[in-house]
Amino acid sequence: MPKLIKDGQLVQDDAWQVIDDEQDIQDYSIISLPRWQENKEALLTHAQAGKLGVWIDSHENVDLIGDDSSSFTLIAVNFPVFTDGRGYSTARLLRERYTYQGEIRAIGDVLVDQLHNLQRVGFDSYLMREDQELEDVLRFFKPFSNPYQADVRETKPLFRRRDKAVS
């Protein structure tokens, strides 16, 4: 059973599936970025209907999907290893540079200790690595009640709200 967390909950019945480039595309398939780029025109309606997702690998720059992002309701960002931090910039730029409104899903080497930063840069669902224990997982989302920086969720840095910030 895949371990998916979405909107702060464990989800059992999620239809989205990452598929290989050789597999046939079905409803709720998540395809690779090169496959999207090569078949954009044929796949556009499918994507716009909210039934096709795309995944971006860590070495693929966010500008490669760019404004196409608005055609999707789900974009997955892959972490080949959890120490590869490019995906954090990818998600943040999807939100801030391309004002992408749909779901951003972290896939690959996703560990509970990353959840806090991932949600801060704009992720909202997390396909956790197989071995992760998810009992009491929600506590990992907010180890810090009031971080210093602005992020996708809190658009003002602490220095602009220090007086008002409730700790």
Partner 1 sequence: MYVYDEHDEKLLQERVAQFTDQMQRFIDGKLSETDFLPLRLQNGLYRQRYAPMYRIAVPYGMMTSVRLRKLAHVARKYDKGVAHVTTRQNFQLNWPIFEEVPKIFAELAEVGMHSIQTSGNVVRNTTTDEYAGVLAEEVTDPRPYAEIIRQWSTFHPEFSFLPRKFKICINADPDVDRAALTVNDIGINIRRNEKGEIGYRIYVGGGLGRTPIVGVVINEFVPEEDLLTYISAILRVYNQFGRRDNKFKARIKILVKALKIERFKELVELEWERIRDTEDKLTKEEINRIKRHFTEPDYLDLEDGPIELQNARLDNPDFARWLDKNVREHKRSGYAIVTMPLKETGLTPGDITSEQLEALADIAEEYSFGETRNTHQQNMVLADVEQRKLFELWQKLKPLGLAIPNLDLLTDVICCSGGDYCALANAKSIPVAEAIQARFDDLDYLHDLGPIDFNISGCMNACGHHHIANIGILGVDKKGEEFYQIALGGKQGFDAQIAKILGPSVSRDEVTDVVAKILDFYVDKRIEGESFIDAYYRIGHDAFKGAVYA
State which of residues 15, 21, 145, 164 lies at the interface with partner 1 (CB under 8 A). 145
For partner 1, give the closer residue by CB, 28 or 141.
141
Q: Which stretch binds partner 1 (CB under 8 A): 11-19, 34-42, 47-55, 155-163?
A: 155-163
Q: DSSP 3-state assignment of 93?
A: helix
For partner 1, give the closer residue by CB, 52 or 57.
57
* Alpha carbon separation from 117 to 68, 72, 134 (Å, rounded): 25, 23, 17
For partner 1, give the closer residue by CB, 78 or 90.
90
Query: Taking CB under 8 A as the criterion, which residues in 84-123 touch partner 1?
Result: 84-86, 88-90, 92, 96-97, 111, 113, 116-117, 120-121
Q: Which stretch binds partner 1 (CB under 8 A): 14-22, 45-53, 65-73, 154-162?
A: 154-162
DSSP letters, 11-56, are: ES----EE--TTSPP-TTEEEEHHHHHHSHHHHHHHHHTT-EEEEE
- Examine residue 146 and tell whether it contacts partner 1 (CB under 8 A): yes
Structure tokens at 103: 């779901």
- Examine residue 130 and tell whether it contacts partner 1 (CB under 8 A): no
State which of residues 15, 22, 155, 164 lies at the interface with partner 1 (CB under 8 A). 155
Q: How far is the CB of 144 from partner 1 (least distance, A)?
A: 5
Of 13, 31, 7, 12, the residue nearest 21 (C-alpha): 31
State the Cα–Cα distance between residues 99 and 93, nearest whole angstrom.
8
- What track of x and - describes contact with partner 1 for positions 12 through 31 (by CB under 8 A)? --------------------
- What track of x and - describes contact with partner 1 for positions 52 through 81 (by CB under 8 A)? ---------xx-------------------
For 78, what's the count of Cα atoms within 13 Å in the CB-facing half-sphere?
15
Assess contact for 56 and 80: CB atoms under 8 A: no
State the Cα–Cα distance between residues 105 and 147, nearest whole angstrom.
23
